[in-house]
Amino acid sequence: MAAAKQALVVALIFTIIVFVSAASKNRTKSLNIIKELNRKGPYIGLITVFSTEEDAFFATGSFKPDPKHPFVDLSGRRFRVGKVSGRNVIYVSCGIGLINAAAATQQMLDVFDIKGIIHFGIAGNVNNSMSIGDVSIPKQVANTGIWDWVNMNRTVDSGDVAQLDIGNYNAPKGNGTNLLGHIGYDEEEFFSESGEPSSAEPLFWANITPQWLQLASNLEGMKLEQCVNSSLCLPEKPKLVVGLKASTADIFVDNAAYRDFLFQTFGVSSADMESAAVVMTSLSNGFPVIVIRGLSDLAGKQQGDNAVRKFGSLAALNTAKAVLGFIENIPEHAY
């Protein structure tokens, strides 16, 4: 029995060594390819989130893969290398949520010769003057998911930027008290290349790079798609709007009351789960960044089921069209 256990342990150790060795060899191969690719740079970094957005982008046929190294695999993500409108690009799907978005952005900036980041995808619409299918290119993005959640008999921190009293939404309405208490919205801690090491500044609104936002203004008035197919169309032609505000949190917003609270309190027009992380990470490292989001649903304001399953693909297609238009506006001499 002892001999059998010893043999099992030896076999397990050998398996681990083989696995680690293979993983190390694969990473070394990827890093060698990256060195070769960076000699052809710089690149525009393209970051989206999940398959619906990815499928819409590649379906345009505008992405031309690098003939020698069309992709590089790192840390479980596939970074696709190619050109769009003659510009060098590297594309990655980061995965849902703030952590995935920040991790993928930092890795892209660390290992590739990147000129700037274009983050795109779909989002919930929290602005009644906007419609499903519209595309928003915000001027500011905030992480509205940093909360001080306190008891009903306590007050939120006086330094918080906003407050949500859950008792105000009791149904039926009573005296305004609720065991869930109050939520105070806090600021980010922003570290940057231009700041002092290990010294963060408070930041709620992260500003999109002004020069890129100015370039994006040229896209207003562009034609967007109105129909998913011959039998499913939006009632109005979608529009592209530059200069609104966006909210990010690890929350899929599908609640009318919370939707209205976000709009009334922060003046945001869209809600997603990644944009603030991409923007904060890019700005922290000193890189230009822009966000392009297509509105796929009403974030809970609708009657019946959320519309993201019906119109998500259309919103993603309109987003992809806006991304391609923006890339074409980037001066070629920048590369």
Using one digit for the tens of pLDDT, what is the confidence trace for 224-275? 999 999 999 999 999 999 999 999 999 999 999 999 999 999 999 999 999 9
Give the model's pLDDT for residue 153.
87
The answer to whether residue 5 is domain-embedded is no
**CATH number of the structural domain spanning residue 140:** 3.40.50.1580
Query: Is residue 157 a part of any domain in this protein?
Result: no
Q: Say which amino acid occupies 132.
A: I
pLDDT of amino acid 1: 58
Does 15 fall in a domain?
no
Instruction: Please report whether residue 12 resides in a domain.
Output: no
220 within domain boundaries? yes
Q: pLDDT under 70 in the chain at which residues?
A: 1-25, 27, 333-335
Residue 120 CA to residue 324 CA, distance in Å, equals 11
User: What CA–CA distances, in Å, run from 226 to 21, 71, 132, 235, 267?
Assistant: 52, 33, 10, 8, 26
- What pLDDT was estimated at residue 120? 98
CA distances from 104 to 46, 57, 75, 284 (A): 11, 18, 9, 14
* Closest listed residue to residue 285, CA positions, set 194, 204, 201: 194
Q: Which range marks the domain in which residue 95 is found?
A: 40-146+187-334
Q: How far apart are CA 188 and CA 20, in angstroms?
A: 37
CA 226 from chain center: how many Å? 24
In a domain, 122, yes or no: yes
Number of domains composing the chain: 1
pLDDT at 334: 59
Q: Is residue 169 part of a domain?
A: no
pTM of the shown model: 0.90
pLDDT at 29: 79
Asked if residue 172 belongs to a domain, the reply is no
Q: What whole-number distance in Å separates Cα of residue 334 and Cα of residue 87?
A: 10
Nearest to 46 by CA among 57, 33, 35, 59: 57
